[in-house]
Amino acid sequence: MHTDILKQNRTSWNTVAGHFNGVDALPAYGPFAQSEDELRLFDSIEGKNVLDIGCGSGHSLLYMNGQGAKDLWGVDLSDSQIDRARETLNGLDAQLYCAAMEEDIGLPEQYFDIVYSIYAIGWTVDLDRTFKLIHSYLKPGGTFIFSWDHPLYVHLKSEDGLISLNGSYQDEGSVHYPNFKGENAPMTIPKRKFSTYLNALVNAGFTIEQVVEPDVPQEFKETEAEISDRYYSLYKAQKFPTSFIVKARK
Ligand SMILES: C[S@@+](CC[C@H](N)C(=O)[O-])C[C@H]1O[C@@H](n2cnc3c(N)ncnc32)[C@H](O)[C@@H]1O
């Protein structure tokens, strides 16, 4: 396992945590992407045991609580994020762990009805191990839903609104950001093809039920977006999905 990358990313996530307070949290699935309010991917949440992988500031767990989930569990690499999650979930009985999703920290097996992850899975340095662990946490028939950057999105270069392919989609290395979010926070994010995610799910024993390449939210469908070269923009998202979402079952 790339423990050096995990160590670096943990320190940097502690630095940038403030940029992500409540960002990328349910009901949202990703930037300029349709949300759970439109997509309705979760089965009933009422009374279910749920585990959030990369729970960040805890806002998705708060959403789950609002939907009537019973047991709330979350794992995140960054202790700053876990501290924020504790604040967000103040007064609620949530089990929060500061740990890498790739690590077996002894979470209960066959215990969860729902495991989900909003914009965190792609950080794993060991996708196969992460999916196998998640599979082990789920009860038979349990659901795993995750969202992440669309694997092609990182390659979309926009200049004056003209979009071209940057780099090679074929290369599955990693992307290094020396100053993530403009901070002194070096981050390394693995780069994988779409098929790599799907095949890893199948290899871990999941059945894939639904794959979504979300459109922009309904309220933006008819908006004439201003030309923008920003990494995430409505202009780009109206032409290509920022994110992908998978619903899989054990
Ligand atoms: C964009 S945030 C996710 C936000 C979160 N879904 C929410 O509801 O607020 C990504 C999170 O992934 C966490 N992360 C990054 N690498 C990780 C890893 N290897 N294991 C566990 N968490 C990780 C980061 O600390 C960060 O909190």
Residue 91 has pLDDT above 90, yes or no: no
**Mean pLDDT across 156-181:** 92
Q: Quick check: is 158 in a domain?
A: no
Q: Choose between 248 and 154: higher pLDDT.
A: 248
Q: Quick check: is 40 in a domain?
A: yes
Domain that holds residue 80: 3-152+193-224+243-249
Q: Quick check: is 184 in a domain?
A: no
Count of H-run helices and E-run strands, the chain: 7, 11
The answer to whether the peptide bond before residue 151 is cis (omega within 30 degrees of 0) is no
Write the residue with the smallest CA distance to atom 26 of ligand 1: 56
Looking from the CA of residue 118, the nearest atom of ligand 1 is 6
Q: Quick check: is 32 in a domain?
A: yes
Count other Cβ atoms within 10 Å, centred on residue 14.
Answer: 16
62: buried, middle or exposed (CB in 10 Å: 19+, 13-18, 0-12)?
buried
- Does any ligand 1 atom lie closer than 6 A to the CB of residue 57? yes
The single-letter DSSP state of residue 125 is S
Q: How much distance in Å is there from the Cα of 135 to the middle of ligand 1?
A: 19
Radius of gyration of the chain (CA): 17
- Does any ligand 1 atom lie closer than 6 A to the CB of residue 60? yes
**Mean pLDDT across 80-85:** 96
What pLDDT does 158 receive?
Answer: 87
**Mean pLDDT across 33-46:** 97
Q: Quick check: is 173 in a domain?
A: no
Write the residue with the smallest CA distance to atom 16 of ligand 1: 123
Per-state percent for the chain, helix, strand, coil, to nearest 5: 30, 25, 45
**Mean pLDDT across 134-158:** 96
- Does any ligand 1 atom lie closer than 6 A to the CB of residue 185? no
Number of structural domains (the chain) is 1
Write the residue with the smallest CA distance to atom 17 of ligand 1: 77
Average pLDDT of the chain to the nearest whole number: 96
What pLDDT does 2 receive?
Answer: 85
Residue 1 has pLDDT above 80, yes or no: no
Identity of the residue numbered 118 = I
Helix axes 3-16, 79-88, angle to 10 degrees: 50
- Does any ligand 1 atom lie closer than 6 A to the CB of residue 126? no
